[in-house]
Chains A and B, each alone.
Chain A
Amino acid sequence: DAKTTQPPSMDCAEGRAANLPCNHSTISGNEYVYWYRQIHSQGPQYIIHGLKNNETNEMASLIITEDRKSSTLILPHATLRDTAVYYCIVRVVTNAGNMLTFGGGTRLMVKP
């Protein structure tokens, strides 16, 4: 299974862009990169996913390097409500179906 490596914590000033890195050097060609976040006392929430092209939605942008060994989640204008643990995961496909394997995540603290 492909694994991901993320820094355990990061700080970001409110209103600034938050750039969260993720390494997934053993990713396979057909595996997607997914990002979820978990706000305190809630279940994880989907943010975005991508294969090799950069992706953007109303929540964030995802930049994947050309060799696909790393990616960066960008929150363009972080707010206090973006304080959460952010998980970068790689979609694992088994014979029985698809499951999500989570790593340790990055705890993002947005400060006023």
Chain B
Amino acid sequence: DVKVTQSSRYLVKRTGEKVFLECVQDMDHENMFWYRQDPGLGLRLIYFSYDVKMKEKGDIPEGYSVSREKKERFSLILESASTNQTSMYLCASRPPAGHTEAFFGQGTRLTVV
């Protein structure tokens, strides 16, 4: 089974801290995604990557950056965390070709205080 693992289930950080959210997948997928999920707003795409060192902005990239140094790992970085970045963060991966499903991690609930 495909496994997408996010490093933390719950995280509490202070305003202004640099925060790293890590995601690892074990199926050699080229495409990886970071979403945030907020009540009433559904899932919104932050960034995605279609290959190592490649990245594309999603719908709400402001305040975030990403890193894809290895194929299996896609990191989301909050350079200076703010309270409005308190949210559930979801990572997903999928192969590039064909109409295949995306596999999601369990999510990281980040609280910025």
Taking Cβ atoms with an 8 Å cutoff, the residues of A that contact B are 32, 36, 41-46, 49, 87, 91, 94, 96-105
Smallest beta-carbon distance B61→chain A, Å: 13
Question: Any chain A CB within 8 A of the CB of B92?
Answer: yes
Interface size class of B (residues with CB under 8 A): 20 to 34
B106 touches A42 (CB 8 A): yes
Q: How far is the CA of A107 from the CA of B50 in the complex (A)?
A: 31
| Complex CA–CA separation, A44 to B30 (angstroms) | 19
- By beta carbon, the residue of chain B nearest A94 is B56
Residues of A within 8 A of B40 (CB): 104
Cβ-defined partner of B56 (8 Å) among A44, A96, A101: A96
A36 to B100, CA, bound (A): 12
Asked if B105 and A99 sit within 8 Å, CB to CB, the answer is: no
Quick check: is B96 within 8 A (CB to CB) of the other chain? yes
Chain B residue nearest in CB terms to A6: B42
> Using Cβ atoms and an 8 Å threshold, which residues of chain A touch B107?
41-43
Residue B44, interface by CB 8 Å: yes
Distance between A94 CB and nearest chain B CB, rounded to angstroms: 7
Contacts of A45 in B (CB 8 A): 104
> Which residue of the partner chain, among B35, B48, B101, contacts A102 with CB atoms under 8 Å?
B35
| CB pairs A–B below 8 angstroms (24 shown) | A42-B104, A42-B107, A43-B104, A43-B105, A44-B43, A44-B92, A46-B101, A49-B99, A94-B56, A96-B50, A96-B54, A97-B30, A97-B50, A97-B56, A99-B31, A99-B33, A99-B56, A99-B58, A100-B102, A101-B45, A102-B45, A104-B41, A104-B42, A105-B42
